[in-house]
Amino acid sequence: MKENHLTEDNCVPEVNPSIPSTIPKFVDELPIPKVLNPDKRGNNYAYYEIEMKCAGHKFHRDFCKTLVYGYNGIYPGPTIETMKDQAVYAKWINNLPLKHFLPVDKSLHGAIDNPEVRTVVHLHGANVAPESDGFPEAWFTRNYEFTGSSFSKEVYEYPNNQQATTLWYHDHSLGITRLNVYAGLAGFYIIHDFNELSLGLPKDEYDIPLIIQDKTFNSDGSLFYPSNTTPPNKYVNPSVVRAFIGATMVVNGKVWPYFKVEPRKYRFRILNASNTNGYVLKLSNGQSFYQIGTDGGLLGEPVKLESFPLDPAERIDVIIDFSKLKHGDTVILNTEETDFKVDVMQFKVELPLKYKDRSVIPKKLRPMEKLDKDMAKRIRRLTLSQSLDHYGRNMLMLNNKMFSDPATEMPEYDSIEIWEIANPLVNPPNVSHPIHLHLVQFQILNRQPFDVNTFNEKKFIEYGTGIDYTGAPVDPDPSERGWKDVVRVEPGKVTRIIAHFKNYTGDYIWHCHILEHEDHDMMRPLRVIKKYCD
Ligand code: C2O
Ligand code: CU
Ligand code: CU
């Protein structure tokens, strides 16, 4: 991959980027992705042209520039901001090279016989028509020269007919999503509404998006991504891996940055855009967070949290109050894993208070409607499963089906459904799978433990009544009691969600948001169908 590595002339890295312990922490200031100006603005719409291209990106003061793929050549991509009900049109343009700089596994769905660098953009969490959703087979190559079977248009339309929230856009091409997102193709998309703006929350320079990704670097500073499993699969090389966990933490494009704050309240919209890793985040001084929102928008009321889990693709909206801290104090945002602790970034209370902090943590944020279980037209029972693929590799699936198998999850238009997702995969790695549905924001009903051994013996795939529960259903965490588009489906439990499939019919998908799983068939069609009669 050397030949693709962009180096500035004469740049020699000051540290060895492949050895994280040599990289000084908290020496780079946190960049804030800039808000993109539309190319055109009308009465109730904005139009953008966004070009995906290669760029040299400086991840750290002591690194040379690293080759990334960026929207408009920047990583993370520029932020798109809009008001609710103001339409956004985006022409996504691929000006990337034809050959990928990361190892492409040609055996995966979509990667066989297709050009290496394919792109398609998905606005994660948005309620949009299927042609603008970024279906994995709607990919296109440079200049739209080659297109996937579902490609239908160049300009996507986002009506933004949903409440204020933090969405994100990222690549979703079949079989290479993990590589394209890791290469840099991800950015924020923020919707505001009048309710949110009337609440007195910290805003503008006190409203900061944080995109967290873990990454590993080669010694020359280029991005490292594994090209094979250990031990290597002898039939497929490069081969997809089961998990990828980077050795450094990158926030808004910098390795272990710091952020200078005033002694006052700030709002942080935190997104975990890592390939595999979930985090449990906390503050090093034991201070609390005040959570105000989830994936799909504001909660009914704030929730005080000491720490919270954040799995891939999940967002959390929190307020941190630095007003009790003294000038010069520092606080580290870190993770709380059982066996190891990882620093993410640092806050330095170093700026003088510009003016009195008049922002508030309101008692009530918005009326939180609850989807009613009794309104559910159908309960769908689904199982996370695994098998071996054609090359003898372990392959994770949904309901024992591959992505290319015919659609089976076909909710009726405007119907409410309960999905009960069983995760019997308790053998190591014994992880939660962050399951994501396109099109909808859903609510988590509960999680209930079941007897995995009997479940496996009976070979339940679409399980029915025969499941042996070993405990009562447990309510979702306080941090999950809002609108969600990703849910942790924990091992040994059935996770129940409720969703209203409204506004559009057509072909969407649901999948695990661990990108290595998604690219290797832990993804299924989701088809919303029109009903002709009851
Ligand atoms: Cu964030 Cu189907 O994706
Ligand atoms: Cu999505
Ligand atoms: Cu998974």
User: Distance, CA 433 to ligand 3 centroid (Å)?
Assistant: 4
User: Distance, CA 161 to ligand 3 centroid (Å)?
Assistant: 30
* Contact criterion met (CB below 8 Å) for 412 and 100: no
Could you say which ligand is closest to the alpha carbon of residue 177? 1
In this structure, how many other beta carbons lie within 10 angstroms of the beta carbon of residue 367? 7
Q: What does 217-230 look like in DSSP terms, one character per residue?
A: E-TTSPEE---S-S
CA distance 350 to 260: 6
* 438 CA: nearest ligand 1 atom: 2
User: Distance, CA 127 to ligand 2 centroid (Å)?
Assistant: 10
* 168 CA: nearest ligand 1 atom: 1
CA distance 211 to 295: 14
User: Distance, CA 324 to ligand 3 centroid (Å)?
Assistant: 41
Q: How does 225-261 read in b/e, with b if 16+ C-beta sit within 10 Å?
A: bbbbbeeebeebebbbbbebebbbbbbbbbbbbbbeb
Q: Whose CA is nearest to atom 3 of ligand 1?
A: 124
Helix or strand run (H / E) with residue 181? helix 177-182
Helix or strand run (H / E) with residue 177? helix 177-182
Nearest alpha carbon to residue 215 among 79, 396, 23: 23
Q: Whose CA is nearest to atom 1 of ligand 1?
A: 124
Number of helices and strands in the chain (H, E): 4, 31
User: Distance, CA 73 to ligand 2 centroid (Å)?
Assistant: 23
Domains recognised in the chain with CATH numbers: 20-196 (2.60.40.420), 204-349 (2.60.40.420), 373-528 (2.60.40.420)
Could you say which ligand is closest to the alpha carbon of residue 181? 1
Could you say which ligand is closest to the alpha carbon of residue 512? 3
User: Distance, CA 370 to ligand 3 centroid (Å)?
Assistant: 28
- Write the burial class of residue 280 (CB in 10 Å: 0-12 exposed, 13-18 middle, 19+ buried): middle
Beta strands in 452-512 (DSSP E): 486-489, 493-501, 506-512
Dihedral sign for Cα 378, 384, 388, 394, please: positive
Could you say which ligand is closest to the alpha carbon of residue 384? 3
Taking only the tens of pLDDT, the chain with its 534 residues reads 344 444 456 788 899 999 999 999 999 999 999 999 999 999 999 999 999 999 999 999 999 999 999 999 999 999 999 999 999 999 999 999 999 999 999 999 999 889 999 999 999 999 999 999 999 999 999 999 999 999 999 999 999 999 999 999 999 999 999 999 999 999 999 999 999 999 999 999 999 999 999 999 999 999 999 999 888 888 999 999 999 999 999 999 999 999 999 999 999 999 999 999 999 999 999 999 999 999 999 999 999 999 999 999 999 999 999 999 999 999 999 997 655 679 999 999 999 999 999 999 999 999 999 999 999 999 999 999 999 999 999 999 999 999 999 999 999 999 999 999 999 999 988 999 999 999 999 999 999 999 999 888 876 655 666 789 999 999 999 999 999 999 999 999 999 999 999 999 999 999 999 999 999 999 999 999 998 776
* 134 CA: nearest ligand 1 atom: 2
* Contact criterion met (CB below 8 Å) for 108 and 179: no
Q: Whose CA is nearest to atom 2 of ligand 1?
A: 438
Q: Dihedral (C-alpha) 321, 343, 425, 316: value to the nearest 10 degrees?
A: 20
Question: How many residues does the structure list for the chain?
Answer: 534
CA distance 201 to 194: 12
User: Distance, CA 519 to ligand 3 centroid (Å)?
Assistant: 10
Name the 3-class secondary structure at 187: strand
* 511 CA: nearest ligand 1 atom: 2
CA distance 226 to 208: 32
User: Distance, CA 228 to ligand 3 centroid (Å)?
Assistant: 18
* 509 CA: nearest ligand 1 atom: 2
Structural tokens at position 500: 């209203």
* 523 CA: nearest ligand 1 atom: 2
Nearest alpha carbon to residue 489 among 526, 525, 532, 437: 437
Q: What is the largest CA-CA distance in the chain?
A: 71
pLDDT, residue 461, reads 56
Pocket-forming residues, ligand 1, beta carbon under 6 Å: 122, 124, 170, 172, 313, 436, 438, 509, 511, 513
CA distance 25 to 74: 22
In sequence order, which ranges of 419-499 are alpha helices (DSSP H)? 452-457
Nearest alpha carbon to residue 244 among 182, 156, 325, 306: 182
Residues with CB under 5 A from ligand 2 (ion): 124, 438
Could you say which ligand is closest to the alpha carbon of residue 296? 2
